[in-house]
Structure 1
Amino acid sequence: MASEGVNVRAFLVQGVAALTISSLTTLTGLVFSWPSYNVANFISNDTVLDEPMTSLQVSLLGSLTNVGAMLLTPFCGYVVNTLGRKYSAMLFGLPFVLAWTIISVTTSIPLVLTSVALAGVGTAGQTISSIYISEIVQDSIRGALMSTVVSSYFLGVLISYVLGGILTYSQIVYIDLTLSVLYVVLLAFLKESPVFLMQRGREKEAAESIAFYRQVSVTAKEVQVEISKIKLLLDPRLEKMLEEADDPTVTKELIESPPQEEKLSEWQFLKQSPTSIRALTTSMACMATMILMGNIAFQVYAETLFKEAVPSYDSNQCSVFLAIILLVASVICSFMIDKFGRKPLMILTSAIASVCTLILGVQLQFNFAPEWVSAFIIYLYSFIFNVGVAVIPYVLSAELFLPEVRGLCGSIVMASGWALNFFTVLLFTPAIEVVGFPIMFYIFSVVGFVGATYCVFYLPETKGLSIDAIQLLFVKKTKRKNEV
């Protein structure tokens, strides 16, 4: 299927909208990295808080955001289908506003910890950001603009590290509060997703939304074509049509017969949709591969890793440089994902990153090369990982599913991701104490090779394809399996 063209004005509007929506993950990056340069102050006798933090409180400071996200993500599907994409995105920006407001006026440790947990609630909205962007941008640039959800996170981390080195505690808090308010305000100027509007029977508003994001007249043929495509996607008989695509008689009967009046719940629809179940399995497998390859451990324990691998280097400066590399790599991915496709990038970057972790494990175990080689491998791994495998699972979590189950399946994938993140970070330090860094990197390497192999056989290419075309790929796989 040929990719549709995008005019310059439409590209700019869709690009600005995507950057605005993905700013939620910038706020996430700000709050996740905030503790790293404040811990020294929080545990000192000259702390800005009422009293120095205990080791338990410091541990909670770094982990409560994950807990908040993990607990709230399963509810994102319900929220996004009830309030819509736009107002749900605004709703999940409010916890950041409230969290930074509380931190700006208190020195109480319990209130600071409560605020961090509250900010974690806001980070759960990343699921909604991906869905919102996927439904307002055109197929030919969908991957590039959806990848901004990941790039924006690393931008937030980098901004936070830079501000942490030049501004005071209070100044940083006020800047983070201002950015949180700005996010909510800017969303107010965007149009709601046309898919959600059509689900609610608001066809006129859906047409206006399409016209706004495509920068064409409401009466343009392009708008009517898009409306027809959305109607088809929302037709509960779509999967049957795709399954019987080779039988024109059956397809004609389905098209001419009126759609069923009974409205299925998301769970009911998912249980009776083999293509959606297969898409969910594929999306979760890619997400698990990404997380279990150890990237989150690289980020959270960057300074610890650099002290182990390159003890003569300044670990803080190494960590800042790592944040820059992560941001640059994710931006490069946004240019490559719609050019080379999801599948080749996922397979290639998983395999190369696994080679890097394998070599790093050998280096840490046998010290066969100078220290700078260890630093180079860490940076190379981080760059390769974020050019593909770190971004693609988030893109897939929003583009593989039909509108009827997009909120539910996206929430399931992201909730499982947060859970894996939490347990990976929780168990990383005890595992290192038991088996050491080399063995852990060998494990990360094995996971990456297994994930790359899985993608070779089960991940379809979705570059530039519409949702119905993506579903057809899963239908063909399902039918072949049943015929065998």
Structure 2
Amino acid sequence: MKGLLIQVISGIILGLGCMGFGVSFAWPSTTLLLFKSENTTLNRPMSESEAALFGSLSSVGGMIGNPLMAVLLGRLGRKYSAILSTCVGLIAWTLVVFSSTVEVILTAIFLFGVSGSVMLVVPVYISEFCQENIRGIMTSLFVVFNGLGMLVSILLGSILSYHTMTYVFLVMSGAGVVLLSILKESPVVFMQKGKEEEAKKSVAYYRSWDPNSKEVMQEIEKIKRALNPDLDEDKSIFQSPEEEKLNPENPSIPQKPLTFMELLRKSRSTRRAMVVLLVLITAAIFQGLVVVVVYAIPLFSQVVPADVMSPALCSVLLCGINVVSSLLGGFLTDKAGRRMLIIVASFLTGTFCVIIGILIISEWGPKWLIAVFIYLYSISYTVGAGTVPFVMMAEVLLPEVKGYITMLIMEWAWLCNFALLYVFQSIVARYGIGPVFFVFAAISFLTSGYSIFFVPETKGLSVNVIQTLFLKKRRDLETEQ
């Protein structure tokens, strides 16, 4: 019980780093209209092109920060990589607090994107110290806290003055850096560096076991197997999940560890896992909730009249619903399973998007009904595509390639984010907001169909067993599910 408590507290501390990024990511939603107005707190109003950059430049920062962090993740370790990411966010908030020029604010937005590399570090870090029976909900904590950060950003941005708000966010960012410093490094990092005794102490700390106990040695052997996998090209027989659980010992370790490119070239299961993750992450972005959150207040001002409900209140409710939905999604990943959850949730997301599009275009029904279906869309998205791909990304990849592949996937995600956020306002100005939701619906339905045929169930399985699932024929996979 004590070990479980330590894991939960450590996960919450790491989640605070993601919360800081959520705060900065949603910040444009509450300040965009102010910065464009004649009453701006900046040295001059932002132009339309600068306003577009203000909403999307963080994605460019993310594209630069992620590859840097992928390199540092192995060299610095998980703990100090997380600290470095949050320190970049602290620097960005310092710029915001002490400067009022448009150019410096845009630079800060870029740095906020660089600090988003914490979203790469946290799920990897948590998955490496967390026990398997709670891995789903614990890994999803970074999604929960990211949503909580967005809620705090919009809520405080609506009730505090501009300068008070920025000082509060600066203090929050600094507190996050301090709390991260008390964590212990991941045992996987110690094993990668050949420090087995330190790895034992790390496992013992997070599980509250004796460092010399049998349980700790079993965990160390599992890490050794994951770091030195038998390549699927050379295997003729795979262990079933039951066999793997009954035989945690007896690993087959090659004489020389393979490099990232060698392992990627020789491991068919790793390549397939990477493709599945790329598809799911791409689909998650183009299901569209990211633009709804970033442009929440301007969006709600278009679809819901102020006399029905204020755009600020609509936005606060949206972020609050996202936080609760993230908790629900984390719980359901360990109860319903990853595969079924994304299939059903993506289908519901598509259905709600179709309804929203029809309501906006036809102007049928009361205006508050549009807000209700946007909230339902947010729930189904967050529970499914907003949670499942990130949980799977932390658990399906071998430790030797996890950092690099996660970086490549997040790099692609940032590129998609930038493209979507940058063109969103132009598309809405030309075609209206209604047709955009039909595009989101099509992507959601395609995600559900793809998941039926290509996404395996990974709930409660070790990475060695999960890798074998990506080698099975599609018909075998469907039969097993």
TM-score, normalized by the shorter chain, greater than 0.5: yes
Residue 475 of structure 1 aligns to a residue in which SS? coil
Task: Provide the residue aligned with 2:70 in structure 1.
Answer: 77
| Between 86-95 and 165-174, the greater mean CA deviation after superposition | 165-174
Distance in 1, matches of 2:474 and 2:342, equals 22
Contact 1:19 1:148 in 2 (8 A): yes
Deviation at 1:163, TM superposition (A): 1.7
1:66 pairs, out of 44, 59, 67, with: 59
Deviation at 1:242, TM superposition (A): 5.5
Task: Provide the residue aligned with 1:161 in structure 2.
Answer: 154
Task: Provide the residue aligned with 1:4 in structure 2.
Answer: none
Contact 1:106 1:112 in 2 (8 A): yes
Is the aligned partner of 1:476 residue 2:469? Answer: no
Contact 2:28 2:294 in 1 (8 A): no
Task: Provide the residue aligned with 1:288 in structure 2.
Answer: 282
Deviation at 1:198, TM superposition (A): 0.7
Residue 472 of structure 2 aligns to a residue in which SS? helix
Task: Provide the residue aligned with 1:260 in structure 2.
Answer: 255
Where in structure 1 are there 5+ consecutive unaligned residues?
A: 1-7, 249-254
Task: Provide the residue aligned with 1:121 in structure 2.
Answer: 114
Distance in 2, matches of 1:382 and 1:245, equals 40
Is the aligned partner of 1:446 residue 2:442? Answer: yes
2:369 pairs, out of 369, 373, 397, with: 373
2:404 pairs, out of 396, 401, 408, with: 408
Is the aligned partner of 1:32 residue 2:25? Answer: yes
Deviation at 1:240, TM superposition (A): 5.3
Deviation at 1:18, TM superposition (A): 1.0
2:458 pairs, out of 457, 462, 472, with: 462
Contact 2:354 2:437 in 1 (8 A): yes
Q: Describe the shift of the 1:445–1:107 C-alpha distance in structure 2 as closer, same or farther (beyond 3 A).
A: closer
| Between 335-344 and 367-376, the greater mean CA deviation after superposition | 367-376
Q: Normalization by structure 2: what TM-score?
A: 0.91
Residue type at the aligned position of 2:385: V
Matches within 5 A, 1:46-445: 46-239=39-232, 243-245=236-238, 259-261=254-256, 263-311=257-305, 312-313=307-308, 314-445=310-441
Residue type at the aligned position of 1:260: Q
| Between 159-168 and 196-205, the greater mean CA deviation after superposition | 159-168
Residue type at the aligned position of 1:398: A
Deviation at 1:149, TM superposition (A): 0.7
Task: Provide the residue aligned with 2:9 in structure 1.
Answer: 16
| Between 354-363 and 340-349, the greater mean CA deviation after superposition | 354-363
Distance in 2, matches of 1:301 and 1:41, equals 13
Distance in 2, matches of 1:208 and 1:242, equals 33
Residue 92 of structure 1 aligns to a residue in which SS? helix
Deviation at 1:280, TM superposition (A): 0.4
Deviation at 1:258, TM superposition (A): 6.3
Residue 119 of structure 1 aligns to a residue in which SS? helix
Q: Describe the shift of the 1:257–1:291 C-alpha distance in structure 2 as closer, same or farther (beyond 3 A).
A: closer
Q: Describe the shift of the 1:451–1:167 C-alpha distance in structure 2 as closer, same or farther (beyond 3 A).
A: same
Distance in 2, matches of 1:363 and 1:478, equals 39
Contact 2:231 2:266 in 1 (8 A): no
Residue type at the aligned position of 1:132: Y
1:364-405 superposed Cα distances (whole Å, 9 cap, x missing partner): 232343323222211111112112221111111121100110
Deviation at 1:9, TM superposition (A): 1.3
Q: Describe the shift of the 1:294–1:46 C-alpha distance in structure 2 as closer, same or farther (beyond 3 A).
A: closer
Q: Describe the shift of the 1:256–1:41 C-alpha distance in structure 2 as closer, same or farther (beyond 3 A).
A: closer
Contact 1:68 1:124 in 2 (8 A): no
Q: Describe the shift of the 1:316–1:163 C-alpha distance in structure 2 as closer, same or farther (beyond 3 A).
A: closer
Contact 2:18 2:149 in 1 (8 A): yes
| Between 68-77 and 343-352, the greater mean CA deviation after superposition | 68-77
Residue type at the aligned position of 2:291: A
Aligned residue pair count: 468
Task: Provide the residue aligned with 1:251 in structure 2.
Answer: none
Distance in 1, matches of 2:235 and 2:204, equals 28
Distance in 1, matches of 2:354 and 2:49, equals 34
Residue 218 of structure 1 aligns to a residue in which SS? coil
Distance in 2, matches of 1:163 and 1:373, equals 26
Distance in 2, matches of 1:155 and 1:302, equals 15
Contact 1:104 1:170 in 2 (8 A): yes
Distance in 2, matches of 1:34 and 1:292, equals 21
Distance in 2, matches of 1:412 and 1:36, equals 28
Distance in 2, matches of 1:197 and 1:478, equals 37
Residue type at the aligned position of 1:216: W
Deviation at 1:20, TM superposition (A): 1.1
Deviation at 1:138, TM superposition (A): 0.7
Distance in 1, matches of 2:36 and 2:290, equals 25
Q: Describe the shift of the 1:107–1:305 C-alpha distance in structure 2 as closer, same or farther (beyond 3 A).
A: closer
Deviation at 1:238, TM superposition (A): 4.9
Cα-Cα RMSD: 2.4
| Between 306-315 and 130-139, the greater mean CA deviation after superposition | 306-315
**Percent identity of equivalent pairs:** 36
Residue type at the aligned position of 1:147: S
Task: Provide the residue aligned with 1:252 in structure 2.
Answer: none
Distance in 2, matches of 1:246 and 1:22, equals 35
1:246-268 superposed Cα distances (whole Å, 9 cap, x missing partner): 799xxxxxx7986222x432122
Residue type at the aligned position of 2:284: M
Task: Provide the residue aligned with 2:247 in structure 1.
Answer: none
Q: Normalization by structure 1: what TM-score?
A: 0.91
